[in-house]
Structure 1
């Protein structure tokens, strides 16, 4: 029997088990019947289990073990419960807090999570309405639970949902924690028969508590404390004109309340996008990284004369800002640009005597401009692997070392200003970015003016990314082939620049190209390859951990904007050619 036939037999066996299961959820049963005869679709739904990692699991909604549905959620929760009972103390009493966003079936999956936890005797807290991801992170810490679960697929397309786990510190689970939870999940052999209690039983036994406004109020108190404005200035009405869009997600109430606390009174909301619509019907993608998401905000901003436009993704952990450029047109800042501006604003309004112990955190694919800014204020920069979980993990270490967290960010529009939450927080970022725009407006400058002041001081740092989507089983194999090809044929030059160092984070070593000497990289293993080039430029390749994509990041630093753009184009073209070979 051929290898391919063995795999086919395995998925068909699982498919038959689902199809013949008499108690299968009626909606899933109906959808499974519609898939009858579509071999490629069925194979993709049943050939493998939906992967669980540091970001939990995320996938297309529908029947099958490679899809998000009540059975894959129940299996994940069963494994999580078994893990918690071994690793944590007072699990049943401390419980797990659960939040959900505006996506299809999000609330249902939240309740399913509680139903399985209840069968283990573990108490659950569920927010009584949709909430942002950073509120879930904060709630873990506020309630003292052993874990948190967020039902979200962030900014993925409408057909996706996800199950994201937070540890007792309120941070995303680490790779080691994810591995242990994965092993516990695998011990549940049949996802269709996981034990659970009905919602009525949970409530009757005191195993389910619905969370109201208490945590929101506590969070908003903390949020007011991140302001760099004086107490007197906080009370003054602000002139800044703002347009805000929550992109059909969860940020609407908290962002508006956060701005109101600081007396930002001129806020216009894109009302069509304030509706919690799981189809995200007014945008191609509900992702503030993609500039089309700001189309309606730009229209409203043009009408109102707004100084800045604010956009948050559906679960409110990412923030995008558009500001007026030199020509007066709205241009969306990149995540690197906005992060650099916020870092500079925070540091210029911090007590210099306290900065010696301060630490700025960024990922290995985030602009080096942040390091330059931090250096100028005497603040040490620490690099982490890609993913805010690693920033959260490092903050937790600071609790023991006594170092002070002052700011953390990643290029993909994720920022954390204060560590009362332990994940990227678009609500915090929206408030501090608005305050920053107010500060610069008082100086007669836009955010673009402020950005160019940073470039003039530190150099023209510019970054871009190639993102290639490769879906399904075949796509996963192609992504693996690209990474294998890059490792098999190490590069010595890219786009006319010599490679000085090659960093393979899976092997955990950095190699000097001129001498072939190696040194260890003091970071966890990750499927990432990065090349440092001879003029401070760099390129980095990594598969996405949450989407069927391979990403290539490019960064440069030149003496002028034009030179930077030219260098960026050359490197992107070279990497596109290289990737196409594999």
Structure 2
């Protein structure tokens, strides 16, 4: 008896109308049984906000049929759950990856089959602009075709709700159920593109949304009118890393009167191969290699890099030796938070709030506390930050800033996802401010450490790909959950936070309290002396991530403690894998 995946493979092979490119790839796959199984053994999981995977034929790959099936599920969900979904329609944007524009049009063709209007951008746009477009157009939902900073062979589809945030757990479960009810991905109904254009069920979006977005962007500034109108002497190098950020970031700087902006020419090309970098991820220092060369030539004050869909921002600044140092997401987020709060009249804001995730630095909480601003903590993922902001409409709380360690920041709720265009403007402003005070950005950071303590963080990940890899990650998490960890690197565990059971346990007394957050496959251990470690599988990549943080009175003491914890965690995981 044939295995299920073999039957699905044969079904695709026998399908007469199969896309010709996929047909050719499918025939090549026949010679590689392991690769064929991986392409067909499961359907792409509708995970954190959508689907993401390697391009190619198969139910476990990104192609027009898996995109159609996902959008078919979304269409059925919208018609059942969202008021006036047909008339309000869906906003669709896409990045510079292979097949991005084609997938955007396929999505519109499926929506059109249900009479749902699709408003599609005429060219590539950043993810935050899609988030804004949903709100601007009062759309029923949004679709962003992107795989963020994954390697070139990947693409993905992210779904946004009517608030402009990535869909939440309950929405994802309902859409997943509608996708599963769809049946055969090869038989999803689609309509002709030209017919949809004629009937205005496919509408092409141009500059209108960009202009409105830019108006909101300049409204964020903390500079006074006189300062805003003055030309700044800050020298900026900016790289969009072959992605979508070039146009809006450049226009944003122009609005704020930063004339000394040099764009890394080789990386301003929207190249789906990301040919000048190993990975188009501003979290990785190699992504700054060209920007650093430009910076040294121009004697630049700050280097900025946005990832391909321009929702994450990385920054590098000079140290005392004149070398460029890449800031971590935790460091840049903390600097931006301090800049915003120190330039806000907090008496004007009712119930000011800062939002961070459970794996983001505790320095943010210390900074917020010093200004009398309350910190709200969420699970990992910006959708949870967006959900909190949406809730503020009814609670009267005021959103000041939200961030996560993975280079995601939001300073104004006009978009409802991490926004590297916003963050680039704020970083330039913040650097300009400190320069005007005779201080470098790194000196400003060390002032924060001197005031609040040296908070340092680390992140490692274990990559385990394919079917076997995901099974192994599940087993490792199971072992960590049931492992009575009493200390890490000789530092006592004070509390154990189990996000599967939503319980926080005090190790000394055995008493438990409820964690008021959605359930997630994550374990966090709170250590003595303001330390912590956390394990969670990535929602978007085949990785097990482990985060850790420390605080001490000096940089040397914190660095030493951080290294000890990293070694201990590596040993713990090696031991579990050996089992």
Which residue of structure 1 lines up, in the alignment, with residue 260 of structure 2?
Answer: 266
- Within 5 Å, which residues of 2 pair with 1:386-397? 386-397=380-391
In structure 1, C-alpha distance between the alignment counterparts of 2:480 and 2:411, rounded to whole Å: 36
**Residues 99 and 127, structure 1, Cα contact 8 Å, conserved in 2:** yes
**Candidates 467, 490, 502, aligned match of 2:496:** 502
| Secondary structure, counterpart of 1:131 in structure 2 | coil
Aligned length: 576
TM-superposed CA distance for 1:54, in Å, is 2.9
In structure 2, C-alpha distance between the alignment counterparts of 1:39 and 1:52, rounded to whole Å: 25
In structure 1, C-alpha distance between the alignment counterparts of 2:575 and 2:66, rounded to whole Å: 37
- Within 5 Å, which residues of 2 pair with 1:555-570? 555-570=549-564
| Secondary structure, counterpart of 2:359 in structure 1 | coil
What's the TM-score, normalizing by structure 1?
0.98
| Secondary structure, counterpart of 2:43 in structure 1 | coil
Which residue of structure 2 lines up, in the alignment, with residue 165 of structure 1?
Answer: 159
**Residues 357 and 378, structure 2, Cα contact 8 Å, conserved in 1:** yes
**Candidates 476, 496, 512, aligned match of 2:506:** 512
| Secondary structure, counterpart of 1:74 in structure 2 | helix
In structure 2, C-alpha distance between the alignment counterparts of 1:534 and 1:138, rounded to whole Å: 42
TM-superposed CA distance for 1:356, in Å, is 5.3
Which residue of structure 1 lines up, in the alignment, with residue 6 of structure 2?
Answer: 12
In structure 1, C-alpha distance between the alignment counterparts of 2:319 and 2:349, rounded to whole Å: 32
Does residue 337 (structure 1) correspond to residue 314 (structure 2)? The answer is no
Which residue of structure 1 lines up, in the alignment, with residue 129 of structure 2?
Answer: 135
Unpaired runs of 5+ residues, structure 2, are: none
Residues 235-293 of structure 1, C-alpha deviation per residue, up to 9 Å, x if partnerless? 10100001000000000010010011011000011000000000000000000000000
- Within 5 Å, which residues of 2 pair with 1:307-318? 307-318=301-312
Which residue of structure 2 lines up, in the alignment, with residue 61 of structure 1?
Answer: 55
In structure 1, C-alpha distance between the alignment counterparts of 2:8 and 2:393, rounded to whole Å: 46
Residues 328-377 of structure 1, C-alpha deviation per residue, up to 9 Å, x if partnerless? 10010000000000000000000031355110000000000000000000
In structure 2, C-alpha distance between the alignment counterparts of 1:86 and 1:570, rounded to whole Å: 53
| Secondary structure, counterpart of 2:438 in structure 1 | coil
**Candidates 77, 80, 83, aligned match of 1:86:** 80
In structure 2, C-alpha distance between the alignment counterparts of 1:186 and 1:444, rounded to whole Å: 60
- Within 5 Å, which residues of 2 pair with 1:211-226? 211-226=205-220
CA RMSD of aligned residues (A): 0.8
- Within 5 Å, which residues of 2 pair with 1:17-166? 17-166=11-160
In structure 1, C-alpha distance between the alignment counterparts of 2:215 and 2:125, rounded to whole Å: 17
Which residue of structure 1 lines up, in the alignment, with residue 204 of structure 2?
Answer: 210
Does residue 484 (structure 1) correspond to residue 484 (structure 2)? The answer is no
What's the TM-score, normalizing by structure 2?
0.99
Does residue 188 (structure 1) correspond to residue 195 (structure 2)? The answer is no
Residues 496-534 of structure 1, C-alpha deviation per residue, up to 9 Å, x if partnerless? 001000000011000111111111100000000000001
- Within 5 Å, which residues of 2 pair with 1:125-524? 125-355=119-349, 357-524=351-518
| Secondary structure, counterpart of 2:70 in structure 1 | helix
TM-superposed CA distance for 1:110, in Å, is 0.1
Which residue of structure 2 lines up, in the alignment, with residue 528 of structure 1?
Answer: 522
Residues 461-501 of structure 1, C-alpha deviation per residue, up to 9 Å, x if partnerless? 00010111111001101100110111121211111001000
Runs of 4+ in 1 over 2 A off after TM superposition: none
Residues 197-248 of structure 1, C-alpha deviation per residue, up to 9 Å, x if partnerless? 0101111111010000000000000000110000111010100001000000
